[in-house]
Every structure is written in structure tokens, then in C-alpha cells.
């Protein structure tokens, strides 16, 4: 029993950075849109700024995955990338709250808007990029062990717990006269200072607890190296070599993007299902505030400040934020029991069950639009969030533990990538879902002239996710059946 508790404690410490980053994401992006609007930015410009991060992540994540597989730094394979990206997050947490102050010192409002934009894009991009090496680090540490599956359940638990704390941190004490707010220059500045300190602490815990082994061989036999001696010099912090490695890394991007499309068939099926799962979840998460503010509470976001319609909309936004908090809390609790569910019904059925519950919740919300139903149906989405954040990545680890089985029917060139590259390929489906929703949902709602379309689309995407999840491969027998069907 003591050994089990000790192993769980080590898992929690290793995932402390996951908790810290998710706190920054939840709190930072709860406040960042308001700061952008306060700087004088139009809503259309703000939407464009918020879409830059996922687009950059889509381009850069495959290269980071492959490069970390081949890294032979004295710090290990994953930690150098985690440290560099975490430094970018820390920098963004300083630029965002003090962007206006720095910009005004440099020359006025345009500079303030530019610095704030850089901070928001840097926060979005670096947090998105950091997930892939973190997931690969967990797989490296617990792959081929009894804790392989549990490690990603703890990862999901820490992520959802961080989201809950982040939403609470952004909401508490909105007064401007608190001691910390007066000392650092305002309430937003106080929140971002707390985020900065929390991230530095959680990074230190994870970096210390990881204890990666320095590998003499790269995890991937692909000929995608940074330097001629196959050493990841960008991780050695030598200025001259760092510049060479950055240039080499840039040249890697097109090749890695191509390789991210050439993945084993079992991963392709999982990637498609992952895409539709996150398309459904993000359609709910990103547009829930608009739906509640206009459909549940008959408010209007563009009404005159102080008018009854504007007050109703603001009240709806607060209710939506409470619903998202309920989702995070439910997801955190679900993560604690997800292992039991997986052992009873398996990975595929657990994922399908979570998305079926999510679809039912969205369907009910379309029909019955009341504040009570907002809270109740938000609680039903937590299981889907917990499952999407853990089980697909655990399956990737399983595939690599038994690559002679799951990759046996693919060409050597296709199956040769390391676990970091395949984790990154799975993450690209998440970024594609973000980009797709950013591009199309506004247009679809404009045509239908109803914000209920957001939740309707979430329900439809949830149904498609249930179907695509039926096609993922979990066991060797299923893979053999698929191959026999193809042969016949």
C-alpha cells in the first residue's frame, strides 16, 4: 500500500507543471480578451489574435515531437524543450499585464497594443506546444510499466484541477483596492503575478522530479537531425550552436509536417476520433458564453452599457463561466474513477460512453434552455473532457510498447517515428479542431441567425465522434480483423 501511495505521489509531482500550465490557460485566457478590448482592439482583430497560437502550434508541434525524440542533451530528451517553452510562458505572463505600461513608455497606444498582442500569442502558442513534450515525458517515464495507463489519468486529473483553480483565481476578489492589486498596479496584474509564481514553482517540481536518462540513441531512426553529429545542440544553451540549431529546426518543419501525415494506420484512426471529440468539446467550451448570454438569458452583447439587455448578457456570461467551472470540477472527479471504468468496459467503450453522455447533455440544452439546465448539463460534459485528455495518449503509449504488433502492417518508414512525434501528431487533431471552429462557426451562426447553432453543432459533432471511436484499434485481435477484411 505504501509503495502504491508513493508511486501516485511521484506521478502527481511529475504532473505538477501540467497543473501550473492549465491554471495559466484558464485564468490567463479568461482575462486576456478583456485586456485586448481595453487596449482599443476590435473584436474581429481580437479573434484573429486568439487564432494565431493554435495555427503556429499546428506547424511547430510535429517538428518539436521529432526533435525531442532525437535529443541527446545532458538534461534528457524532453526537459530542454519544456524549459524553453515554459520560459516563453513566463515571459508572456509579464508582457500581458504590463503591456500597456511598457507600450506607453515606448511611444503610446499602438506599441501597447503590439506588446499585449505578442504576449497573448506567446502564451497561447507556448502552452499549446508544451503539451507534446510533457506527454512524451510521461510516456518515457511510465511506458512498459503497470502505471502506464494510470499516468495519463493523473495527467488528466491535474489538467482539470488546474482549470478549476484557474477559473476560480480569475474570478475571486475583483475589487481594485485589494492589497496585492494596489502593490502591483491592478487586479489583472495581481492575478498574472500569482500565475507567474505558480508556474515557476510547478516547473521546478517537474524538472527536478523527471530525472530523465541521457540516451545515446535517438528514439526515432528517421534521418531528421539538427546537426551532423545527431546531437540536439539547441538544448545545450551555447549561443553560436543555438543559432545553428534554430535554423536547422526551421528547415525541419516542412519534413516533419509531412511525416505527421504519414503515421501508422492505428494512429490515423485514433487521430480522426480525437479530432471529432475535441471539435465537439471545443464547440461547447469556446462558444458557451455567447449561447448562455443570448439564448438562455435574452441579452445582447452589443447593447448599450447599463441597459437591461446588456445586464442580462453579462449575467448569462457569469452563469456560463460557472458552468465551465462545474465542468472542470466534474472532469477532475471523473479522472479519479476513470481507471475503474476503463478496466470494466475498456478504452473504446469508455470514450464512447463519455461522448454519448456529452451528446445527450448538448441535445437537452438545445431543447430546454434554463439556468438550472445550464449547470446540470455542464456537469455531464466533465467525463468527456477527462477521457479526451487521457485515454488517447495512453493508447499511443500502448501502441509504442507493442509496436511489433500494432505497427506490423505499416511500412518501416511510416512506423519509425518515436513516441514524441506520434504524441505531437495526435495533438495536431486538437489544433485542427480549434482552427476549423474559428473559421467556420461564426459563418454558420451568421447564416442560421441563432446562437443555439453552437450547441446543436456540438451535439452533432459528438454523434460523429461516437461513430469514429467505434473504429479505433485497442487490441491485437481487432487489428488482425481489420487486416483480414482489407485482404478479402
pLDDT tens digits for 322-367?
A: 888 888 889 988 988 888 999 899 999 999 999 999 999 999 999 9
Residues of the chain with CATH 1.20.1250.20: 264-488
Question: What are the grid coordinates assigned to 272, written together?
Answer: 480522426
SS3 (DSSP) at 262: coil
SS3 (DSSP) at 219: coil
- Residue 178: how many CB atoms within 10 A of its CB? 14
How is domain 14-261 classified at the architecture level of CATH? Up-down Bundle (1.20)
> Could you tell me how far CA 78 lies from the centroid of its own chain?
17
Q: Is the pLDDT of residue 437 over 90?
A: no
As a whole number of Å, the CA-based R_g of the chain is: 22
Instruction: From 171, 170, 193, 197, select the one nearest 181 (Cα to Cα).
Output: 193
Q: Is the pLDDT of residue 415 over 60?
A: no
Q: Are 280 and 297 within 8 A, CB to CB?
A: no
| Rounded CA separation 143/136 (Å) | 10
Q: Is the pLDDT of residue 87 over 90?
A: yes
Mean pLDDT of the chain: 79
Residues 6+ apart with CB under 8 A from 362: 280, 284, 377, 455, 456, 458, 459, 462
pLDDT at 230: 43
- At 73, which helix (H) or strand (E)? none
As assigned by CATH, the class of the 264-488 domain is: mainly alpha
Q: What global pTM score does this model have?
A: 0.74
Q: Is the pLDDT of residue 482 over 80?
A: no
| Rounded CA separation 474/480 (Å) | 11
Max mean pLDDT range (68-82, 222-236, 372-386): 372-386
Average confidence (pLDDT) over 75-88: 87
- At 318, which helix (H) or strand (E)? helix 308-345
| Rounded CA separation 441/426 (Å) | 23
What percentage of the chain has pLDDT greater than the value 70? 79
Under the banding of pLDDT at 50, 70 and 90, the label for residue 428 is confident
pLDDT at 279: 93
Q: Are 180 and 173 within 8 A, CB to CB?
A: no
pLDDT one-digit tens code per residue, 135-178: 888 888 786 677 777 788 888 888 888 888 887 776 664 444 56
pLDDT at 110: 82
Amino acid at each position: 500500500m505504501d509503495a502504491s501511495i508513493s508511486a501516485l505521489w511521484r506521478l502527481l509531482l511529475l504532473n505538477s507543471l501540467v497543473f501550473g500550465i492549465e491554471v495559466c490557460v484558464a485564468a490567463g485566457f479568461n482575462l486576456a480578451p478583456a485586456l485586448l478590448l481595453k487596449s482599443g482592439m476590435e473584436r474581429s482583430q481580437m479573434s484573429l489574435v486568439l487564432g494565431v497560437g493554435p495555427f503556429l502550434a499546428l506547424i511547430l508541434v510535429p517538428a518539436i515531437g521529432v526533435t525531442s525524440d532525437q535529443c541527446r542533451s545532458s538534461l534528457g530528451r524532453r526537459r530542454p524543450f519544456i524549459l524553453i517553452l515554459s520560459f516563453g510562458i513566463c515571459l508572456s505572463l509579464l508582457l500581458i499585464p504590463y503591456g500597456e505600461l511598457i507600450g506607453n513608455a515606448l511611444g503610446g497606444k499602438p506599441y501597447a497594443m503590439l506588446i499585449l498582442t505578442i504576449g497573448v500569442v506567446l502564451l497561447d502558442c507556448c502552452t499549446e506546444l508544451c503539451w507534446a513534450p510533457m506527454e512524451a515525458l510521461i510516456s518515457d517515464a511510465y511506458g512498459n510499466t503497470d502505471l502506464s495507463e494510470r499516468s495519463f489519468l493523473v495527467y488528466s486529473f491535474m489538467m482539470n484541477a488546474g482549470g478549476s483553480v484557474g477559473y476560480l483565481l480569475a474570478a475571486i476578489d475583483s475589487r481594485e483596492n485589494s492589497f496585492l492589486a494596489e502593490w502591483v498596479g491592478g487586479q489583472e496584474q495581481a492575478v498574472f503575478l500569482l500565475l507567474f509564481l505558480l508556474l515557476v514553482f510547478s516547473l521546478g517540481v517537474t524538472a527536478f522530479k523527471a530525472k530523465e536518462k541521457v540516451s545515446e540513441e535517438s528514439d526515432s531512426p528517421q534521418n531528421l537531425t539538427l546537426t551532423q553529429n545527431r546531437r540536439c545542440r539547441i538544448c545545450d544553451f551555447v549561443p553560436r550552436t543555438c543559432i545553428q540549431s534554430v535554423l536547422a529546426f526551421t528547415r525541419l518543419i516542412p519534413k516533419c509536417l509531412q511525416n505527421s501525415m504519414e503515421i501508422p494506420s492505428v494512429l490515423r484512426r485514433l487521430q480522426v476520433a480525437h479530432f471529432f471529440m475535441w471539435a465537439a468539446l471545443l464547440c461547447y467550451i469556446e462558444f458557451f458564453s455567447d449561447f448562455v448570454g443570448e439564448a438562455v438569458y435574452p441579452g445582447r452583447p452589443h447593447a448599450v452599457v447599463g441597459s437591461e439587455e446588456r445586464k442580462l448578457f453579462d449575467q448569462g456570461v457569469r452563469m456560463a463561466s460557472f458552468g465551465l467551472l462545474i465542468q472542470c470540477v466534474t472532469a477532475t472527479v471523473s479522472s479519479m474513477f476513470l481507471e475503474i471504468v476503463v478496466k470494466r468496459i475498456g478504452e473504446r467503450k469508455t470514450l464512447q460512453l463519455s461522448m454519448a453522455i456529452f451528446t445527450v447533455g448538448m441535445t437537452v440544452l438545445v431543447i430546454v434552455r434554463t439556468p438550472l439546465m445550464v449547470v446540470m448539463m455542464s456537469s455531464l460534459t466533465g467525463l468527456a473532457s477527462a477521457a479526451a485528455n487521457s485515454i488517447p495518449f495512453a493508447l499511443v503509449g500502448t501502441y509504442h510498447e507493442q509496436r511489433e504488433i500494432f505497427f506490423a502492417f505499416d511500412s518501416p518508414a511510416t512506423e519509425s517515428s518515436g513516441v514524441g512525434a506520434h504524441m505531437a501528431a495526435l495533438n495536431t487533431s486538437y489544433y485542427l479542431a480549434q482552427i476549423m471552429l474559428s473559421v467556420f462557426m461564426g459563418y454558420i451562426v451568421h447564416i442560421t441567425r441563432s446562437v443555439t447553432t453552437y450547441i446543436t453543432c456540438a451535439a452533432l459533432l459528438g454523434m460523429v465522434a461516437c461513430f469514429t471511436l467505434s473504429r479505433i484499434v485497442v487490441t491485437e485481435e481487432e487489428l488482425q480483423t481489420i487486416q483480414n477484411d482489407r485482404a478479402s
